[in-house]
Every structure is written in structure tokens, then in C-alpha cells.
């Protein structure tokens, strides 16, 4: 499909500079969306098939980086970008004054696309009102997911006691990219907007995605809703939403049927199906680098210790010999296009966690064991003595299954640090010493980009780090 560009150069850096208003100008060679088909094309554009970022994983206990890279195919502190090194060593400064933060700017870039659709589709040329509402609903789901990741990166984790006063991120809900003096909505208000978008969208989403899982469906909408309520600590509502997803799609791949077929390769290393070929993918949004953290990190000793030898996730996704380079530790190397939106394994685990917390312990373990049966050779079913035991086992399984999945472990550490029983220090040991990230440290909250601060210095509060 020919790529469509909208009226403006969709660079949110421009939005921050207070540029002239170009809304009435049709740039040469650009197409202004007018018809329903035009707006639907925006939702098919490759630029909106990505979301979030993977770099927050360097703040977690899942990742290990050696001091020195073993060749060019695997990473080391001596070879990674300075921003990655800063994150891994828990430095106050991450990007510096001259370097852009792609997570922030790419997210607001895509939000502009979604705002264009949401604001204008109902007035587009065409008479099929339900089709228009469906397209608008898809854009709302995508915008909600963008803001869910943004608020979890650039703000403290949701806490109902402080969310009303904790600064979140700017809520930009229209097409005006020439805004000046942006302000940060509270964490509470950002979550309220996310829930509003999801609840308004759900009635108009199709049961089956239009075309494939790159397009939103009811299962996608309920999946984002389940993630949102989980992060809010509203486990009863998260469970309801997760159950709605599983009514529509409860597919799991039997990973025992797949293998590493090209051990010396990177792309094509395994025969595990990807994106639309993988029935676990309910809603697909890729990482900025579509293969995520593949070959960019080692699994920490603590993470690797959670896997049994018969666990196919260890056998297929990790290796100690990457492209003919033997390594002391396991390299993360699935080389599968990383879906950071909604998948059935995450929904199983959300439902299981919520059952362990506020529901049926037996069902919690049933859900976890169904997942494990599709991941581990000769799996022995897990049992739980009580809710606390079930929750511990579910969270361990969540860590195994969702390792290196974008921001998942990073957000989990932030939210679980609010519970004394799960709070932990993250420790990274290097030749220069031992570096620790303490529970609820302000260093968990990403800094607002320097460029944003320069153009909004009087209205945007920088995060304390």
C-alpha cells in the first residue's frame, strides 16, 4: 500500500518549538486525508506499527552487560551507547543535552496521527457511519496504549493516594502541534483519559480485526484495558477485562514443537512463527527496533536461574553461542519481531495474577499451568498452598514468559516496589564497582527530554533524579 503522509511533517520536536501554523497549507506532494479510506490508510501506515521502547529494560534485574564486548555480535559496557551505559549504571543523566529520546518523540508523533483520525473521521467523505466509528475506535485504542506507556515511563507508578498530585505527561488530544507552554497532566488525569478512550472505543471495535492483528479488535481493546487496570492495582476490573479477552482468543503456541534451526544466524535463527502468523498475537505493535533487544543483552544470572533445562524459552530464546561466538552467559537472541501490544500469554498471566490476588487460587494455577504446558517439556504442574504462594508463583512465571518484552519488567518493578513484600534492590556489578537501584528510587522515572524542557521550561516540571 502506498504510504500516505498527512498535512504536517509529523515530528513532535517541531511541536515543541512553537512553529507557525501549517494547518491550512497543503505541502507539495502531500495528500490531505478526506475520505474514509484516506483515514483508514493512516492506521495501516508503517509508522504507527511501532510503540513504546526497550531501553528501560537496562534499569532492571533481567539484563546483564559485561564490561567488555566479546566481539562485535554481543554487547559490552565498552561498546553500547552512552545513554545505555548511563541507564545500566543508574546515572542521573541519561541522554544529555544534545541527544534526543526516541521513546518520547516517536510516541507523540504517533499520537498526532491518532488525533488526526479521531478528530476528523466522522466528517470524512463517505456515508457508512459504523465504519467511521470503528476506525475512530481503533485510533482511540492506539492512543490509549501510547499514553499508558508514556505515563509509566515518565512518571511515578500509579498510586491512588498520590496520583492526583503526581505529575504525569502532557495530554495532547488534538491536531495542534504548534502548542507552547505544555503542562504535565497528573498521573490520575492521564489514566482517566486512557480509560475514557478505551471505554468509548470498545463498543465500536470489530470482534475480528480488520485484515490482521496490526488492526485493533475487541480483544485488543479489552487487552489494553486489562493492562491498564493491572497497573492501577484494580485487580477485579483487570480480571474482568482479561477474561473478556480469553473468551475471544485463548490460543497458545506449543513452543515444544519449535527449535533453533539456524544456530549461527540471527534473523531466521528459529522457526517460531512471528507477527500475524503467531496466533498468540492479539494486537501487534513492534518495538522501535523490530527485533527488540535481540543480541543486545545477556540474561542476568537471577533471570536465567528461574528457567529449568527443559524450558523451551531458555532453549530457543537464549544461547551461549551466538553467531559462532561462545559466551560465558546466555545471550538473549530470539530474533522474533517483538510485539509490545497485546498477546495471549500476557493476558493469561494478568488473569492468573488477579485470581491469585482477589479471586480463585485454583484458577490462577490452572491458567499458569496451561501456559507452562505449552512451554516446558514434561511439565510438572505447579500447585499453591494459599494466595500468597500462588501470587509468588504467578509473578515468577510472568518474569519468565515476558522477559525482555519492552517495558514489562521495568513497569513490574515499579509497581511491585509499592508492596513491601516484593520490593527489591536491582544490582548491577561491573569492574568499576557495584551499582544499586533502590526500591522506589526517583531514578526509575525517566527524565523529560532536554529539548522539551528548553521550549517549556516555565510550564513543565522536570523529574527529580
Question: What cell was used for 434?
Answer: 557495584
Q: What is the mean pLDDT of each run of 10 residues along the chain (465 residues)?
A: 37 38 36 89 93 98 96 94 98 91 96 96 94 98 98 98 98 84 96 98 97 97 99 98 98 98 96 98 97 98 98 98 94 98 98 98 98 98 98 98 98 98 98 97 97 93 94
CA separation for the pair 348, 245 (Å, rounded): 9
| Bridge pairing between strands 433-437 and 298-299 | unpaired
pLDDT on residue 25:
31
Domains along the chain with CATH numbers: 12-256+339-447 (1.25.40.390)
Spatial CB neighbours of 117, under 8 Å, sequence gap ≥ 6: 39, 42, 43, 135, 136, 138, 139
Closest by CA position to 215, among listed 275, 172, 274, 129: 275
Closest by CA position to 323, among listed 351, 362, 295: 295
Counting every residue, how long is the chain?
A: 465
Question: What cell was used for 190?
Answer: 492521564
CA separation for the pair 441, 432 (Å, rounded): 21
- Residue 452: phi, psi to the nearest 5? -65, -45
Residue with cell 502548542: 179
pLDDT on residue 148:
99
Question: What cell was used for 173?
Answer: 488530544
Yes or no: say if 261 and 319 are a contact pair by the CB < 8 Å rule: no
Residue 366 CA from chain centroid, whole number:
26
Distances (CA, A) of 58 to 1, 24, 84, 130, 427: 36, 43, 7, 44, 11
CA separation for the pair 172, 178 (Å, rounded): 11
Residue with cell 513504546: 52
DSSP string, 394-461: HHHHHHHHTTTSTTHHHHHHHHHTTSTTT---EEEEETTEEEEE-TT-GGGSPPPPHHHHHHSTTT-P
pLDDT on residue 97:
86
Spatial CB neighbours of 133, under 8 Å, sequence gap ≥ 6: 122, 204
Question: What cell was used for 7?
Answer: 498535512
CA separation for the pair 448, 451 (Å, rounded): 9
Question: What cell was used for 152?
Answer: 509509566
Identify the sign of the CA torsion 236, 241, 243, 246.
negative
CA separation for the pair 110, 100 (Å, rounded): 16
Q: Is the pTM above the cut of 0.75?
A: yes
Closest by CA position to 271, among listed 285, 246, 288, 254: 254
Spatial CB neighbours of 2, under 8 Å, sequence gap ≥ 6: none
Yes or no: say if 241 and 229 are a contact pair by the CB < 8 Å rule: yes
- Residue 186: phi, psi to the nearest 5? -70, 160
Closest by CA position to 295, among listed 262, 269, 261: 269
pLDDT on residue 59:
98
Q: Which residues of 269-278 are buried (b: 16+ CB within 10 A; e: fewer)?
A: bbebebbeeb
Yes or no: say if 288 and 53 are a contact pair by the CB < 8 Å rule: yes
The DSSP output letter for 16 is T
CA separation for the pair 198, 205 (Å, rounded): 10
pLDDT on residue 10:
38
CA separation for the pair 156, 379 (Å, rounded): 38
Secondary structure (3-state) at 323:
coil
Yes or no: say if 41 and 4 are a contact pair by the CB < 8 Å rule: yes
DSSP string, 127-145: S-HHHHHHHHHHHHHHHHH
Amino acid at each position: 500500500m502506498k504510504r500516505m503522509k498527512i498535512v504536517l511533517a509529523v515530528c513532535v520536536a517541531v511541536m515543541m518549538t512553537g512553529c507557525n501554523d501549517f494547518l491550512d497549507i497543503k505541502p507539495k506532494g502531500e495528500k490531505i486525508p478526506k475520505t474514509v479510506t484516506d483515514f483508514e490508510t493512516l492506521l495501516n501506515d508503517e509508522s504507527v506499527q511501532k510503540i513504546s521502547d526497550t531501553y528501560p529494560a537496562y534499569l532492571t534485574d533481567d539484563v546483564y552487560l559485561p564490561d567488555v564486548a566479546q566481539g562485535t555480535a554481543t554487547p559490552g559496557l565498552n561498546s553500547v551507547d552512552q545513554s545505555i551505559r548511563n541507564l545500566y549504571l543508574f546515572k542521573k543523566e541519561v541522554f544529555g543535552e544534545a541527544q534526543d529520546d526516541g521513546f518520547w518523540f516517536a510516541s507523540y508523533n504517533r499520537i498526532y496521527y491518532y488525533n488526526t483520525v479521531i478528530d476528523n473521521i466522522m466528517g470524512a467523505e463517505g456515508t457508512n457511519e459504523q465504519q467511521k466509528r470503528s476506525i475512530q475506535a481503533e485510533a482511540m485504542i492506539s492512543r490509549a496504549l501510547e499514553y499508558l506507556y508514556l505515563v509509566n515511563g515518565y512518571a511515578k507508578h500509579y498510586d491512588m493516594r498520590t496520583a492526583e498530585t503526581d505529575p504525569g505527561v502532557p495530554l495532547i488530544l488534538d491536531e495542534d502541534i504548534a502548542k507552547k507552554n505544555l503542562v504535565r497532566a497528573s498521573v490520575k488525569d492521564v489514566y482517566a483519559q486512557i480509560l475514557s478512550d478505551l471505554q468509548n472505543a470498545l463498543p465500536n471495535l470489530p470482534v475480528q480485526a480488520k485484515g490482521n492483528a496490526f488492526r485493533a479488535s475487541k480483544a485488543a481493546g479489552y487487552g489494553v484495558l486489562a493492562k491498564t487496570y493491572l497497573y492501577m492495582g484494580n485487580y477485579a476490573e483487570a480480571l474482568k477485562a482479561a477474561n473478556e479477552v480469553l473468551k475471544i482468543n485463548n490460543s497458545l503456541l506449543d513452543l515444544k514443537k519449535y527449535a533453533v534451526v539456524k544456530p549461527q544466524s540471527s534473523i531466521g535463527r528459529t522457526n517460531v512463527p512471528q507477527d500475524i502468523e503467531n496466533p498468540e498475537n492479539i494486537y501487534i505493535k513492534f518495538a522501535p527496533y523490530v527485533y527488540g533487544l535481540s543480541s543486545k543483552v545477556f540474561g542476568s544470572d537471577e533471570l536465567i536461574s528461574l528457567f529449568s533445562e527443559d524450558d523451551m524459552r531458555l532453549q530457543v530464546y537464549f544461547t551461549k553461542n551466538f553467531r559462532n561466538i561462545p559466551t560465558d552467559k546466555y545471550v538473549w537472541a530470539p530474533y522474533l519481531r517483538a510485539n509490545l501490544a497485546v498477546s495471549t500469554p500476557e493476558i493469561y498471566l494478568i488473569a492468573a495474577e488477579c485470581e491469585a490476588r482477589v479471586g480463585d487460587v485454583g484458577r490462577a494455577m490452572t491458567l499458569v499451568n496451561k501456559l507452562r504446558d505449552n512451554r516446558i517439556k514434561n511439565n510438572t504442574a505447579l500447585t499453591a498452598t494459599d494466595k500468597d504462594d500462588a501470587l509468588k508463583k504467578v509473578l515468577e512465571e510472568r518474569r519468565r514468559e515476558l522477559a525482555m518484552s519492552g517495558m514489562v519488567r521495568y513497569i513490574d518493578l515499579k509497581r511491585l516496589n509499592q508492596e513491601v513484600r516484593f520490593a527489591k534492590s536491582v544490582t548491577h556489578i561491573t569492574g568499576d564497582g557495584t551499582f544499586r537501584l533502590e526500591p522506589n528510587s526517583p531514578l526509575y522515572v525517566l527524565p523529560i527530554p532536554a529539548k522539551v524542557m528548553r521550549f517549556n521550561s516555565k510550564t513543565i516540571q522536570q523529574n527529580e533524579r
